[in-house]
C-alpha cells in the first residue's frame, strides 16, 4: 500500500477516483480518526511525454492552486473546497483536499439516466452557492476561468456544493492579458476567441458567462449550450486554431451565445411563474459583451431570488452582507461573539 507523506501527515492511497489532462485524484486515508481525503497529483505519465514548457505550466498551476487555497480565511471556505495539507512527492506538488461525494457533472448524468429532474429550489440553491464561491475568488483578486460541472463538488445530502480546481486561476480581475486557459465547452467568448495579438482578455464577467452556461445546463437536465458545444468541438479538432475556423464558418461574426430553440427549451423546463425572471438572468449572464453581464455577485443574487418570487434575507448570503455573513463581531452586530456559519 502506497503511503504519501505531506507537511502535516501521512496518507494511504486507496483508489483512483478521477483524472484530468494533467492531474490524477486518489481517495486516501489520513491520520487516525480523520475522514478520507482527495489527494491531487500531477499525472506522471503525462509529464514524461510533455514538452518542458508544458511541464513547467502544470507545476505552476498546482502551486498556483495551493497558494490560492492557503490564502483563504477559514470563513471563506463555505463554498470553496478546503485544502487540508500539501507537500511534494517524487519532485512534484501534491494537494490533500476535503473529499465530497460527487460532482455536478456525474450527478446530472445519473439524473438523466434515471429520467429524474432536479427540483427547482435545489437547483437555484446550487447556482446561488456557486455564485458565492465565485464572489470569494473575485474578492481575493482572481478570475476563476474554469467553471464547469466537473469542478463543482456535491455533498452526500445534495444540498451543498463547493468550487474546486483552482489551477486555472488568473490574478487580476480586469487588466491582465493571459494565455489560453480553461475548458472550451464552458468558456465565455473572450476566453475562446483571442485578441488580434493572440492573447486573451478575460475578467470576472467571464466567470459569469460560465455561470449562465451552468444555469442552462442544470435547468435543461444536463443539456449543454450549442455555442459552448461548438467551441468545444472546434478546440478538440484544431486546438487554438479552432477559434478562427469557427469565426470563418459563421461569416466572421461571433456565433450566437443563446439560440431561440434553447430559449424555448429552457422556459419549458420551468414553472410558468419563474420563466420571465429566469430567462432575464440567463440572457444577462450569457450576453456576448462582458460589459453587459451582471456587474457583481450581489446583482446575480437578487435576480436568483426574483426567480423564486422572494426578497433576499439580509443575513442569508455572505456576498450581500459580509458583516453578518462572516458572523464577525463588529459595531453593526453589537460586537457579538463570532458564531459558526
pLDDT in tens, 36-58: 999 999 987 888 888 888 888 88
Specify the pLDDT at position 327.
43
Q: Could you say which DSSP state residue 295 is in? A: S
pLDDT of residue 96: 96
d(CA 192, CA 204): 15
Lowest average pLDDT, out of 10-14, 22-26, 268-272, goes to: 22-26
- Least confident range from 48-57, 216-225, 276-285: namely 48-57
The alpha helices in the chain, defined as continuous H runs, are 44-49, 52-71, 104-113, 120-139, 189-192, 204-219, 226-238, 242-249, 260-268, 272-285, 297-307, 322-325
Distance between CA atoms of 103 and 39, rounded to whole angstroms? 16
Confidence check: pLDDT of 338 > 50: no
| Confidence category of residue 137, pLDDT binned at 50, 70, 90 | very high
Is the model's pLDDT at 199 over the cut of 70?
A: yes
For the chain, where do the domains classified as CATH 1.10.510.10 start and end? Answer: 102-310
DSSP 55: H
Residue 132 pLDDT grade (very low, low, confident, very high; cuts 50, 70, 90)? very high
- Where in the chain is CATH 3.30.200.20? 3-98
- For 151-178, the pLDDT digits (tens) are 999 997 878 999 999 988 888 766 677 8
More confidently predicted of 122 and 317: 122
**What are the counts of helices (DSSP H) followed by strands (DSSP E) for the chain?**
12, 11
Query: Band of the pLDDT at 310, cuts 50, 70, 90?
Result: low
pLDDT at 174: 66
pLDDT in tens, 77-131: 889 999 999 999 999 999 999 999 999 999 999 999 998 999 999 999 999 999 9
Q: What is the mean pLDDT of the chain?
A: 87
Cα–Cα distance between 88 and 108 in angstroms, integer? 34
What's the pTM value of the predicted model, to 2 decimals? 0.87
d(CA 80, CA 139): 13
Class of the 102-310 domain?
mainly alpha
Local confidence band at 332 (pLDDT 50, 70, 90 cut-offs) = very low
What kind of architecture, by CATH, is found in domain 3-98? 2-Layer Sandwich (3.30)
What Å distances lie between residue 24 and 38, 95, 200, 204, 236, CA to CA? 10, 11, 28, 28, 21
Q: Which three cell numbers stand for residue 214?
A: 451552468
The percentage of residues in the chain with a pLDDT greater than 70, rounded to a whole number, is 89
Residue 339, pLDDT > 80, answer no
CA dist., res. 50 & res. 260, Å (int) = 42
Predicted pLDDT of residue 31: 81
Nearest to 137 by CA among 105, 103, 161, 173: 173
**Residue 299 — pLDDT band, cuts 50, 70, 90?**
very high
Residue 180 pLDDT exceeds 60: yes
Cα distance between residue 313 and residue 21, in whole Å: 41
Amino acid at each position: 500500500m502506497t503511503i504519501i507523506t505531506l507537511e502535516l501527515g501521512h496518507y494511504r492511497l486507496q483508489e483512483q477516483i478521477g483524472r484530468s489532462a494533467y492531474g490524477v485524484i486518489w481517495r486516501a486515508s489520513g491520520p487516525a480518526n480523520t475522514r478520507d481525503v482527495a489527494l491531487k497529483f500531477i499525472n506522471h505519465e503525462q509529464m514524461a511525454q510533455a514538452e518542458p514548457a508544458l511541464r513547467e505550466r502544470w507545476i505552476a498551476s498546482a502551486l498556483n492552486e495551493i497558494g490560492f487555497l492557503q490564502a483563504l480565511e477559514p470563513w471563506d471556505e463555505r463554498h470553496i473546497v478546503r485544502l487540508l495539507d500539501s507537500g511534494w512527492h517524487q519532485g512534484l506538488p501534491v494537494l490533500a483536499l476535503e473529499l465530497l461525494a460527487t460532482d455536478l457533472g456525474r450527478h446530472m448524468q445519473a439524473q438523466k439516466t434515471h429520467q429524474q429532474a432536479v427540483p427547482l429550489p435545489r437547483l437555484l440553491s446550487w447556482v446561488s452557492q456557486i455564485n458565492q464561491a465565485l464572489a470569494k475568488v473575485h474578492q481575493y483578486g482572481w478570475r476563476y476561468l474554469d467553471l464547469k460541472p466537473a469542478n463543482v463538488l456535491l455533498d452526500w445530502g445534495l444540498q451543498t456544493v463547493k468550487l474546486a480546481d483552482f489551477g486555472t486561476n488568473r490574478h487580476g480581475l480586469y487588466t491582465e492579458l493571459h494565455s489560453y486557459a480553461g475548458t472550451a465547452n464552458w468558456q465565455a467568448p473572450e476566453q475562446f476567441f483571442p485578441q488580434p495579438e493572440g492573447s486573451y482578455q478575460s475578467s470576472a464577467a467571464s466567470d459569469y458567462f460560465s455561470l449562465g452556461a451552468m444555469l442552462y445546463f442544470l435547468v435543461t437536465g444536463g443539456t449543454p449550450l450549442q455555442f459552448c458545444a461548438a467551441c468545444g468541438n472546434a478546440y478538440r479538432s484544431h486546438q487554438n486554431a479552432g477559434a478562427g475556423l469557427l469565426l470563418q464558418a459563421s461569416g466572421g461574426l461571433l456565433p450566437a451565445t443563446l439560440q431561440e430553440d434553447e430559449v424555448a427549451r429552457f422556459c419549458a423546463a420551468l414553472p410558468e411563474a419563474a420563466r420571465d425572471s429566469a430567462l432575464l438572468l440567463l440572457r444577462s449572464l450569457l450576453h456576448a459583451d462582458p460589459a453587459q453581464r451582471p456587474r457583481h455577485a450581489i446583482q446575480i443574487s437578487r435576480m436568483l431570488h426574483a426567480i423564486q418570487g422572494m426578497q433576499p434575507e439580509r443575513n442569508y448570503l455572505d456576498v450581500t452582507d459580509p458583516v453578518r455573513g462572516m458572523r464577525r463581531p463588529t459595531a453593526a452586530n453589537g460586537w457579538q461573539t463570532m458564531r459558526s456559519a
